[in-house]
Structure 1
Amino acid sequence: MSSMGASAEENLETKQMDERSFSISSSQGQQQAPPYVHKVGIPPRQNLFQEFKATIKETFFADDPLRSFKDQPKSRKFVLGIEALFPILNWGRSYNLKKFRGDLISGLTIASLCIPQDIGYANLAKLQPQYGLYSSFVPPLIYAVMGSSRDIAIGPVAVVSLLLGTSLSNEIDPTTHPEEYRRLAFTATFFAGITQATLGIFRLGFLIDFLSHAAIVGFMGGAAITIALQQLKGFLGIKTKNFTKKTDIVNVMHSVVSTAHHGWNWETILIGASFLGFLLFAKFIGKKNKKFFWVPAIAPLICVILSTFFVFITRADKHGVEIVRDIKKGINPSSVKEIYFTGDYLGKGFRIGVMAGMIALTEAVAIGRTFASVKDYQLDGNKEMVALGAMNVVGSMTSCYVATGSFSRSAVNFMAGCQTAVSNIVMSVVVFLTLEFITPLFHYTPNAILSSIIISAVINLVDYQAAILIWKIDKFDFVACMGAFFGVVFATVEIGLLIAVSISFAKILLQVTRPRTCILGKIPRTTVYRNIHQYPEASKVPGVLIVRVDSAIYFSNSNYVKERILRWLMDEEEQGKGDYQTRIQFLIVEMSPVTDIDTSGIHALEELHRSLEKRDVELVLANPGPVVIDKIYTSKLANMIGENKIFLTVAEAVAYCSPKLAEDP
């Protein structure tokens, strides 16, 4: 005890002596460094294998999916592995009648919405109506077993249907070669599923994040306009042979105008306009009062029933009103033998499938994350990709085309009170009953109704409020948004998608190659240094230029960073000559935002140091991170600059410079 007390007294004495010496030197008019200058820590070195392993784990397994497997017996690991692949085995144990009641109501509600939509979306994909219903029977069952989202409603969607319809028809004419067209659709669906499952298995889901939110908003808005324009054919009663096969607004409007005198059917327009007005009114009621969410959900089915009955009793089909006619009865036939595994169409199916799979995946993951955040539960993106991929692979073998999460149906599913993925099973059962018993009743359903249903469904995809917000937040994001939008509207869906991806990549490259730098100044009465443009009260330190680099320094930007820092220095020197300020003697680089540096970055700092030496300016570094400081010492850059010129904070770096500035006359 006595030795501990003596040690404490000695430490206190030493501290008091240091404080006295510092106060004396300060009173003599010299600003010296604080008595305690913290040395920048150097992390322990890792061997190559450890570093590689840590990088791989953080890149692909940041969520540590195997943490629940640790310290578990083999039998338990097997059970956990099966539950990870089939989440229904996990949440199914706690399933009860109360949850089923919510799933039953929501399942019946989304079924009433999906049946008319599926028939319309199949037409959009240029397939026969039953294939839309097939795609809402098998895929939802697979997803319910393997998916981790409680709210996503699975089935065909407008954007993917349009993408498939335009891409496939560019390869095969669906009218003259319907069988080959259908086979190519199944092939594309197969490869869409393979793409999705591969991304999930190899944990490459981060690739879909390269398509920015702004680009998606623009792409979806442009696709909605294109889809609505495509429906003018059915809405106005224009014969297929008189309507363009292209999707851009110029060709579509030219077809509409050129057929105005002899191609329009007033009975069809009356039916389409009347029920479109009803659908929009139902949407208005649903938005006005959330309690009436079911009104816009069942409105499409009501429209189909009423319009079909009206056409049947008036025989409007004999007066030019186009009808659906026969929808094949029965559940999904096998299509394994129809997929192209060899031949010329294999490559085309692969290309179209990858594109459709990525778009479908982006939409589904965005929807799943949205509702998961609302209900505050975790959504495993990689499991979602595997589930979506598996359902599309199985779907391609059971006469389905690409299915994914539908935003409109998922929103209805959520508002109807769904509890689990069982709502998808309920919807699938209703579609099964429809295929087995009800399809003949759709014989007299007018095409104008399907067009009206699709138009009302895609209106919400034009999110102008999001576009306005993007404009306010980031002008470059707005360029990406508008580029994708106009690419889809004035060219094709593929070109719009290409523009969206290209602009997103361009933004990333611009940010990487031209990182932000700024000059720091001291906030009055503090030891804090901040951007002088953000904090006007911050003052520069005479004789010291403090620059912060807000990015990692790589080969792509190292030369720019070096030249930008030198330009800052030259600007300050020019300004100093005019204002008769103290000559810049120290350049402090604040490196806390520099998360990493490569060989080119180290080389750029060496060149910067040599350039500064010629100008009689000392280079000082402040707060380099663990990765950066390790590479600085490994490369011997620390010896070149001087180990005593690397500090923990900008304040300590300035304190190091102050005595030397005071000595300079």
Structure 2
Amino acid sequence: MDEIFQDRGRGRTLKSKTRDILKKRLPILKWMPKYRKGYILPDIIAGITVWLTAVPQSLAYAGIAGLTPEYGLYSQFLGPFVYIVLGSCRQMTIGPTAIVQLFTYQKCGEDFPECVVLMGFYSGIVELFLGILQLGFLVSFISEPVTIAHHPQIFYVEPGRHCPWSYMSCGARYVEDTERCTPANEFRKPTSVEEVILGSVRSGFPPVGLPQFELYNPNGNSTVPMTPIETLQFLGTGPLVVAFGAILQNIAISKAFGHGQTVDATQEMLATGVTNAIGGFFSSIPTSGSFARSAINDASGVKSPLGGMVTGVMILLSLGYLTPFFQFIPKASLAAVIICAVVFLIEVESISLMWRTSKLDFLCCTVTIAASLGLGIEYGILVGVSVSLAILLLNSLRPSMTPEFKIDPETNVHFVLLKPDQGINFPSVDYIRDSVNHIARHYDNYSIIVIQCDKWTRWDFTAANALVFLTKAMSKRGISLVFYKCRPEWYQLLETFGLKDPPCCFHKEDLEDYFMQMEPELSTSSVCNVTANPQDETSDDEGNMLLESSRSFPNYYNFD
């Protein structure tokens, strides 16, 4: 009978785990049962409002990528339908964005515009692969200074590719000769209407089929057949850069409108990956979350992701019935849409705030900008992440640990207290060891050095082994190295490394008992070299130890 109940319990556990996984990876199962009738009207209003913004932006962003306008609409209708099922942020709107299309154009250019669709398809595969492997934590290694720094790259034009150096030198000479500047009324006027308006936009549902692994060159009016491997070689790191750019945008939007809730980066990878991968079968260009349209969606009072479905339906209706009217949209209007979308991408205020608050973050941002402009966006992000990790390792290399020279009022024992502000690991163990050796050499009247270990939540083999050898070395010199407020696991670990009766004090009382067990002459012979200042004698947070003085260590590299 007990086995039957155990089997039923396992069955219920498996069923509940499956249900939890489905709700986590299919958010529609979580919010749809809570949907109310009162949400219908706000969702319809928000969906139509976003549609009014999405149409001109989509037409303009297709031009950025080097394609005809209808490709922007092809990529706009699919995202909302996918995000209804997989999305975790109700305000999010998926579609073409300026930053992603500019990244795409830098890789594809005007020679092979059809590769933009392949770029979106491959970037979707990358995002989907990262999501399936649950690698959302990788985004945590891309700091905000790196994210801010890669935006100025969109204004950069590669001289050797997009404009010859002769054009730049000619332009420089022309600017220098101010007398030859062309008056505003002498600018060339358009000779035909086609130069002013958008032109015809193909109507109807987008063609459905496998992505074409062949690239069309409009300049040579020829098609270049390629294998999937050859297209990957042609695109290089482009899909990876576009994928990370889209993921970063989605996560930034989710954080901005999440009202403090935890953002599931893995889920955003899955949602964006499925959208771009399926979009490759509908001639869609690369897509991501749009901050501007998401802000409009939020301001319009959207209540659920169903507002995106309204936008998607309106885009489909536009493809079927409104495209003949799009041809009269002035190109200048679409240019204004692009300018308004990208002009605020350089966050000058954030860079200024970084300079005032953290010089290291400002350095990381500056290095990333320089690397992006000089080496390309993909290498710029790589350099920025490397600098961020180096700064992170630098902080863990040297924990803040100012020595405090104290007296125990019960036993009159003089000792040095060290309080590391972070846990111990192999990068920081050398600094801690050198700090203890420095105290032992320069303050030889102190026979007890106490290390407060309340911040040590975890440790590694290198750190534990080094401190065991340090404890033994200090003992041979007549100095007791005591670990205060440590966990019982630390005591067991020291024993495992061969340290007999490790000097560990878990509480304040244990430390006082340890002092009482010391030889009586310790308290009388340990005459402090530091003259106590009555103004400096204050009780610490435990109220039983008096602080004599606090001295900062010399520079790490000046330890002799």
Seen in structure 2, the aligned counterparts of structure 1 residues 78 and 512 have a Cα distance that, compared at 3 Å, is closer
Seen in structure 2, the aligned counterparts of structure 1 residues 126 and 652 have a Cα distance that, compared at 3 Å, is farther
Distance in 2 separating the partners of 1:82 and 1:247: 51
- Confirm or deny that 1:326 pairs with 2:194: no
Deviation string for 1:279-308 (max 9, x for gaps)? xxxxxxxxxxxxxxxxxxxxxxxxxxxxxx
Distance in 2 separating the partners of 1:398 and 1:331: 9
Residue identity matched to 2:310 = V
Residue identity matched to 1:86 = L
1:517 to 367, 388, 401: 401
Distance in 1 separating the partners of 2:167 and 2:304: 42
1:551 to 422, 427, 443: 422
Distance in 1 separating the partners of 2:280 and 2:185: 38
- Confirm or deny that 1:91 pairs with 2:22: no
Counting only pairs closer than 5 Å after superposition, residues 172-571 of structure 1 correspond to structure 2 as: 174-175=110-111, 178=112, 181-182=113-114, 184-220=115-151, 222-223=152-153, 226-227=154-155, 245-246=161-162, 316=190, 318=192, 321-339=195-213, 342-349=228-235, 351-373=237-259, 379-489=263-373, 492-520=376-404, 543-571=414-442
Equivalent residue number for residue 154 of structure 1:
94
Preserved CA contact (<8 Å) 2:413 2:515: no
Equivalent residue number for residue 216 of structure 2:
none
Richer in helix (by share): 1
Deviation string for 1:437-470 (max 9, x for gaps)? 2223233434332222112122332222322332
Distance in 1 separating the partners of 2:96 and 2:285: 8
Residue identity matched to 2:496 = T
Distance in 2 separating the partners of 1:397 and 1:481: 38
Deviation string for 1:397-454 (max 9, x for gaps)? 2111221111111111111101111121111122212222222323343433222211
Equivalent residue number for residue 494 of structure 2:
632
- Confirm or deny that 1:656 pairs with 2:514: yes
Seen in structure 2, the aligned counterparts of structure 1 residues 654 and 399 have a Cα distance that, compared at 3 Å, is farther
Preserved CA contact (<8 Å) 1:553 1:597: yes
Residue identity matched to 2:273 = G
Deviation string for 1:83-130 (max 9, x for gaps)? 444322442233333212111111111111121112222222223222
Distance in 1 separating the partners of 2:399 and 2:131: 32
Distance in 1 separating the partners of 2:325 and 2:61: 19
1:116 to 51, 56, 73: 56
Counting only pairs closer than 5 Å after superposition, residues 599-614 of structure 1 correspond to structure 2 as: 599-614=461-476
Deviation string for 1:315-342 (max 9, x for gaps)? 9552895543232222221241414763
Equivalent residue number for residue 545 of structure 2:
none
Equivalent residue number for residue 480 of structure 2:
618
Preserved CA contact (<8 Å) 1:392 1:403: yes
What 5-or-longer segments of structure 1 have no aligned partner? Answer: 1-68, 231-241, 271-314, 528-540, 574-582
Residue 419 of structure 2 aligns to a residue whose secondary structure is strand
Preserved CA contact (<8 Å) 1:265 1:320: no
Considering only aligned residues, what root-mean-square deviation do their CA atoms show, in Å? 3.7
Distance in 1 separating the partners of 2:490 and 2:172: 65
Distance in 1 separating the partners of 2:336 and 2:160: 20
What 5-or-longer segments of structure 2 have no aligned partner? Answer: 1-8, 214-225, 527-560
Cα deviation for residue 80 of structure 1 reads 5.6
Distance in 1 separating the partners of 2:97 and 2:407: 55
Residue 334 of structure 1 aligns to a residue whose secondary structure is coil
Seen in structure 2, the aligned counterparts of structure 1 residues 269 and 492 have a Cα distance that, compared at 3 Å, is farther
Residue identity matched to 1:202 = L
Cα deviation for residue 654 of structure 1 reads 5.9
Distance in 2 separating the partners of 1:351 and 1:492: 11
Report how many aligned residue pairs link the two structures: 499
Residue identity matched to 1:553 = I
Residue 426 of structure 2 aligns to a residue whose secondary structure is coil
Residue 364 of structure 2 aligns to a residue whose secondary structure is helix
Residue 619 of structure 1 aligns to a residue whose secondary structure is strand
Residue identity matched to 2:125 = I
Residue identity matched to 2:232 = L
Preserved CA contact (<8 Å) 2:414 2:523: no
Preserved CA contact (<8 Å) 2:406 2:417: no
